[in-house]
Amino acid sequence: MEVNTKRKKEVLNAALTLFRHRGYESTSMRQLAKELNLEVASLYSHISAKSDLLEVICFGMADKFLLGAKEVNDIYFNAEEKLRMYIANHISLLTQNMDSSIVFLRDWRFLPDDKKEQFVELRNKYEDGIREIIETGISEHVFNPSDIKMATLTILSSLNWVVEWYKPEGSLTPQEIANDLSNFILNGLKKNNL
């Protein structure tokens, strides 16, 4: 589904707020309609199904993450630097798109089966990027050998958890968070014989 009219974008934004705070499955089309001062049926002048809304959110974020990863891969070479940039990009996207991020991390499971398959493919592609950096670091004797899959998932879980506690008005900036987490993670990965 393309978001090609102003009204469509308004519908999407209202849905985004509701999905974030109530979850996709617990948000009804009737609630969404009320939020927009519309009748339920009118929503279907703009979208063809509720799941359209979830799709736009999930794939929109997936694209952003993959684009950022691609840029990092094109510019940086050394494993530590690359991982730091991956983390900075990840935290920046999460904190700048809190609503979408929360929905996309929590509710992708409710995508229709075929879309869910596509989505998981994209997510695996992103995870592979991190896995490869760790592998490079290990083979270049910069990182300690470790279970690579576990390291990747542990790193991602630390990063993604940020949406659960980050407050834009809080004391830590996204840059500081990214930096702290990078230090934390790299201390966990790096050889200690410097």
Residue ranges binding its own copies (CB under 8 A): 23, 25-26, 146-147, 149-151, 153-154, 156-158, 160-161, 164-165, 172, 177, 180-181, 183-185, 187-189, 192
**Residue among 21, 42, 144, 180 that touches DNA (CB under 7 A):** 42
For DNA, the closer CB: 27 or 152 = 27
- Backbone φ and ψ of 143, nearest 5°: -105, 155
- In the bound complex, what is the minimum distance in angstroms from residue 27's beta carbon to its own copies? 11
**Residue among 1, 3, 8, 123 that touches DNA (CB under 7 A):** 8
**Residue among 40, 67, 75, 120 that touches DNA (CB under 7 A):** 40
Find out whether 130 and 86 touch, Cβ atoms under 8 Å. yes
Residue 35 to residue 32: CA distance in whole angstroms? 5
Tokens of 48: 């063809």
**Residue among 13, 17, 51, 118 that touches DNA (CB under 7 A):** 51
Nearest to 63 by CA among 71, 53, 52: 71
DSSP track, 68-134: HHHHHHHH--SHHHHHHHHHHHHHHHHHHTHHHHHHHHHHGGGS-HHHHHHHHHHHHHHHHHHHHHH
- In the bound complex, what is the minimum distance in angstroms from residue 162's beta carbon to DNA? 29
**Residue among 12, 14, 18, 46 that touches DNA (CB under 7 A):** 46
Query: Which residues contact DNA (rule: CB under 7 A)?
Result: 5-8, 27-31, 37-46, 48-51
